Amino acid sequence: MVAVLDFIFLQNLKFQFFGLIGLALVIIGGYLRLKARLQLRKKAGFDNLVSTSQLQIVEGQQLVKDGLYKHIRHPLYLGEILRNFGIVSIFSSACGILLVMIGAVFLLLRIKLEEEMLVEAFGPDYEDYKRKTKRLIPYIY
């Protein structure tokens, strides 16, 4: 919302070059989010796509280590971050980028909580998976 208001009132509805980059980020981020949710639903044992957004371990849950999850442990959160940066980039909003950065910090805290839950639920299997994959960015972080 801040990005849209910034675009309307501070930038006088003028799109910048960043808008094209933002559009690409929205598409890539949206794809990652949807693909990750579908994988969780199909392979981890979640009943529906909405339940994949809740921080929980479901009965009979399996650890997903293939597909997107073969490369990074949290493709859904990467997609969320990319999509959010894409939205504020479309509107070239510095205020929006600041808020997305703050939101990304909260996602990193959520990742920490989620990984603690997964270690408790899957033990050494998840610890081994952590050693073999990065959190958000393949080969980097």
Q: What is the value of pTM for the model shown?
A: 0.84
* CATH number assigned to the domain comprising residue 64: 1.20.120.1630
Beta bridge partners of 72: 134
Q: How far apart are CA 35 and CA 40, in angstroms?
A: 9
Phi-psi region of 12 (alpha: psi -120 to 50; beta: other; left: phi over 0): left
* Full domain range(s) for residue 74: 2-11+18-132
Structure tokens at 32: 């990652």
- Identify the band that residue 60 occupies on the pLDDT scale cut at 50, 70 and 90: confident
Tokens 């997305």 sit at which residue? 100
140 within domain boundaries? no
DSSP states along 7-65: IIIISTT---THHHHHHHHHHHHHHHHHHHHHHIIIII--SSTGGGGS----TT-----
78 within domain boundaries? yes
Instruction: For the chain, give the longest Cα–Cα distance.
Output: 55
Domain count, the chain: 1
Which of 128, 114, 139 lies closest to 40, judged by CA? 114
User: By the 8 A CB rule, do 44 and 63 touch?
Assistant: yes
138 within domain boundaries? no
Give the SS3 label for residue 138.
coil
108 within domain boundaries? yes
53 within domain boundaries? yes
Q: How far apart are CA 24 and CA 33, in angstroms?
A: 14
CA 79 to chain centre: 4
Q: What is the pLDDT of residues 70-103, one digit of tens each?
A: 999 999 999 999 999 998 888 777 888 899 999 9
139 within domain boundaries? no
141 within domain boundaries? no
Q: What pLDDT sits at residue 2?
A: 73
User: Residue 7 pLDDT > 80, yes or no?
Assistant: no
Q: How far apart are CA 132 and CA 51, in angstroms?
A: 27
55 within domain boundaries? yes
